[in-house]
Amino acid sequence: MEDSKKTLNFIEEIIEEDIRNGKHGGRVHTRFPPEPNGYLHIGHAKSICLNFGLAVKYKGKANLRFDDTNPVTEDTEYVEAIKTDIRWLGFDWDDREYFASDYFERLFQFALQLIDSGKAYVDDSSSEDIASLKKGPTESGIESPYRNRPPEENRQLFLRMRAGEFPEGSRVLRAKIDMTSPNMHLRDPVLYRILYKEHHRTGNKWCIYPMYDFAHGQCDSIEGITHSICTLEFENHKPLYNWFIRELGIFPSQQYEFARLNLSYTVMSKRKLLKIVNEGLVEGWDDPRMPTIAAFRRKGYTPASIRNFASLVGVAKRDNVIDLSLLEHSVREDLNKIALRKMVVKDPLRLTLTDYNQEGEQVEIENNPEDESSGSRSVNFSRNLYIEREDFMENAPSNFFRLKPGGMVRLKGAYIIICNKVVKDTQGHIVELQCSHIPESRSGSDHSGIKVKSTIHWVEASTSVDVELRLYDRLFSVEDPNSKDDFMQFINPDSLKIEKYAKAEASLMQPEPDQHYQFVRLGYFKSDPDSKSGVPVFNRTVTLKDGWAKSKQKTD
RNA sequence: UGACCCAUGGUGUAACGGUAGCACUACAGAUUUUGGUUCUGUCUGUUAAGGUUCGAAUCCUUAUGGGUCAACCA
């Protein structure tokens, strides 16, 4: 995908070392293993780019495998959404689409193998008893009274568990490892539990389901995954996975852990995102304020910008919180090159050119100054215009370069104008500006010799169309809401601002659904699916960098 | 106070015993018919203390700080 940097991240170093040593014949095979119980977020995007990117870089393969071992939370709705997101990001798994549930029978056989070799037993204890005998990390656990059942009895019991002879929760299958291990995962972990739940793929075929720890590593092994890449919190599980590989004598996939992505001003855990959705603080998983891939897509991010972001953040083992500004930088960089420029006034103020007596005319404005091949377009111009309310200030400070009484600005692509009169209503609100123009300053044939400090955008009044602008801000008002238990307290109440009465140049009446726009001086925008009922709706992908807003903020 | 992991500018990330670099941010300036873009420049860093070495961000020890683990979740 993106050009590889000269320096390698630690996983690439391991892979190149493995290739040099001819490990697995130099084969590189990774996988992305989502659980279909929620939508993918930008943190998953990092993992997707890593796993699929590594396969591309080292001419290997990457599988898509759904870790669907818990039927109570999983659903096909999520399976489809996840596939859509990965494809949108630009990655392909060919026909290598797998499900942990595809391997249920083999996993069951693995369990029997452990039972027969005396390495697993059926435990009749309650979950409370199992938990309490495990003890805490600072003291040894105590062995279960069922721990020394003979293999043959365990086999019969486990078979009967599968046959549905026991009630849910009455028994589990556990590995027989070491109740005194300082690693909690080695204290006879549960391998199978009884669950009378319909599975989204296997239906009612099973009433026992493997635990993640008993499934994940073996699935990797079955698929011949060479480099099993996951996040840091699974580091303590690795000794257990290696124990399974050894006891079962199966393909030795090797796990490597990297630090998950955290983004400032947002949360990344599925649990927290689900809560935000369920409590109605956003419209849904693809609400553009969410950090999900679906939300970024709807907001107007490009796959390339997210891939580039993933490469900018790097891969390491240190906990991190990435500046939101890096993501924004990445999308601006991409959009600047491809977004068609349009003029839209979000908060319109009437402006009349009192000395402009023509019917009106067409002015020619470039579609993208960064891309000559994008050409130009004709824009209607007349004596009746709208400009941005905030581009006028009655008592302006000296560093305000836009319109002020007696001041001059250029109307983008048209004339230099002078503000002569401010018209107010009875309450003193400004309702109109009366200006005159300098005919010889017309863009393209300017021989006025006048230099102005500022160029502002505008739209012609009679041909303008009404559009709705949805302006987004960070979801949280604090930089690291993840660190707060009561993270919901820090939701930004102003994360969405809707401009219902924006005026746009006529061409935006029928926006191209896939086109990215830059509304000059306002930011990058993309049409929203809500646009159907006559009024076009645009999501602001990201603002433009704004030196003026920044300097204003400082003096406030 | 058990085990495992981590520690480089404001934020990320390089440097593999030999000049601490890159990106983002911030700041300053130039250019600009978007206070955008582009260009130039500036600020800020090896957690601490010992050791090994001609030489340590890098190796060792200890301390300190942070993270993960005690679901029949993944």
Q: Tell which strand B nucleotides have any atom below 7 Å from a protein Cβ.
A: 1-8, 10-16, 21, 23-27, 33-38, 66-74
> Which residues have CB under 8 Å from A213's CB, separation 6+?
A185, A189, A191, A237, A240, A241
Tell me the average pLDDT across A111-138: 97
Question: For residue A532, what pLDDT band results from cuts at 50, 70 and 90?
Answer: confident
> At residue A501, does pLDDT exceed 80?
yes
Closest of A343, A339, A438, A442 to residue A387, by C-alpha: A343
Which of A448, A451, A450, A417 is closest to A435 using CA atoms?
A417
Check residue A483 and give its pLDDT: 79
> pLDDT at position A533, please?
73
Q: Which tokens go with A113?
A: 């193998």
Q: Which residue is nearest to nucleotide B21 (CA to C1')?
A: A7
Position A463 scores a pLDDT of 97
**Separation of A315 CA and B13 C1' (Å):** 8
C-alpha A3 chain-centroid distance: 22
Spatial strand order of the sheet with A190-194 comes to: A120-123, A172-175, A190-194, A208-210
> C1' nearest to CA of A416: which nucleotide?
B33
pLDDT score recorded for residue A4: 39
Specify the pLDDT at position A348: 98
What pLDDT shows up at residue A550?
83
Nucleotide nearest A35, CA–C1', reads B74
Whether the per-residue pLDDT at A485 is higher than 50: the answer is: yes
**Residue with CA nearest B15 C1'?**
A7
Confidence label for A210 from pLDDT (cuts 50, 70 and 90)? very high
Distance between CA atoms of A262 and A423, rounded to whole angstroms?
51
Q: Quick one: pLDDT at residue A549?
A: 84
Instruction: Give the whole-number percent of chain A exceeding pLDDT 90.
Output: 95
- Average pLDDT score over residue span A344-370: 97
In this prediction the pTM is 0.96
Contact A98, A83 (CB under 8 A): no
pLDDT in tens, A33-61: 999 999 999 999 999 999 999 999 999 99
The pLDDT assigned to A2 comes to 36
Distances (CA, A) of A403 to A395, A413, A425, A442, A503: 10, 16, 20, 18, 19
- Give the CA-to-C1' distance from A263 to B42 in angstroms: 28
Nearest nucleotide from residue A333 CA, by C1' atom: B37
The Cβ of residue A552 has, within 10 Å, a number of other Cβ atoms equal to 13
- pLDDT for A554 equals 66
Least confident of A22-31, A240-249, A547-556: A547-556
pLDDT value at residue A3: 37
Separation between the CA of A7 and the C1’ of B54 (whole angstroms): 29
pLDDT category, A1, cuts 50, 70, 90?
very low
Residues shown for chain A: 556
Give the integer Cα–Cα distance in Å for A481 and A478.
6
**Quick one: average pLDDT of A367-383?**
97
Asked if A498 and A471 count as a contact pair (C-beta separation under 8 A), the reply is yes
- The residue-averaged pLDDT of A204-229 equals 98
Q: Residue A368 CA to B32 C1' — how many Å?
A: 14
A96 contacts A64 by C-beta, under 8 angstroms: yes
Single out the residue of A232, A238, A233, A206 nearest to residue A220, CA to CA: A238
Q: Provide the percentage of residues in chain A whose pLDDT is more than 70.
A: 99
Burial class from Cβ neighbours inside 10 Å (0-12, 13-18, 19+) for residue A325 reads exposed
Cα separation, A429 vs A287, whole angstroms: 35
> Mean per-residue pLDDT for A355-374?
96
B26 C1' to A42 CA distance, Å: 26
Domains and CATH numbers, chain A: 11-258 (3.40.50.620), 270-340+467-551 (2.40.240.10), 353-365+378-448 (2.40.240.10)
Rounded, the Å distance between the CA of A236 and C1' of B62 is 25
State the nearest residue by CA to the C1' of B66: A319
Please say whether the beta carbons of A46 and A14 come within 8 A: no
Please give the protein residue whose CA is closest to the C1' of the nucleotide B36.
A544
What per-residue confidence (pLDDT) applies to A556? Answer: 60
- Measure A463 CA to B65 C1' (Å): 63
pLDDT tens column, A297-320? 999 999 999 999 999 999 999 999
A231: the nucleotide nearest its CA (via C1') is: B68
Shortest CA–C1' contact from A365: which nucleotide?
Answer: B33
Distance, CA of A434 to C1' of B23, in Å: 48
pLDDT tens, position by position, A83-92: 999 999 999 9
The catalytic residue positions of A are: 35, 260, 270
Query: Are the C-beta atoms of A195 and A72 separated by less than 8 Å?
Result: yes
DSSP state of A148: T
Distance A263 CA to B48 C1' (A): 30
User: Is A5's pLDDT higher than 60?
Assistant: no
